[in-house]
Amino acid sequence: MKVENKKHRDPFKGVTFSGKPVSKNEYIEAYESYVSRCSSKQILNSDCDIRETAEGVFINGVKQTGVKDLQVKKNSHQLIEVQVDYLATSFSKEKFCYSSRN
């Protein structure tokens, strides 16, 4: 058995991937995509206060109407993930643009 002194933690410890492995070049080229998908980065930039009270569900102090279900769990970064399902009589999607805040 070979013992190695690693300088960095294994970011994939406990994670499995379905399918065949990609080439090392594909793996390296996908690094930026990986960074943009890291949940800790997205969640840490969020400033959202969600409360469930006897009066209902409130997001940033605004009472939500049509809430069908609310699921709460902690993710691997010990941050709280909340999924809210709504019932609605209509839905519309407007065009919008993302602005970069770098």
pLDDT along the chain (102 residues), means of 10: 66 80 89 69 58 86 89 77 86 67 48
Q: What is the per-residue pLDDT for 99?
A: 53
Full DSSP string of 18-32: -SPPPPHHHHHHTHH
Classify residue 96 by burial, with Cβ atoms within 10 Å: 0-12, 13-18, 19+: exposed
Residues 6+ apart with CB under 8 A from 69: 83, 84, 85
Note whether 77 and 43 are within 8 A (CB): yes
Q: Where are the beta strands (DSSP E) in the chain?
A: 50-53, 56-59, 62-63, 67-74, 80-86
Tokens at 39, concatenated: 């949940």
Q: What is the per-residue pLDDT for 44?
A: 43
| pTM tops 0.75 | no
Q: What is the per-residue pLDDT for 50?
A: 84
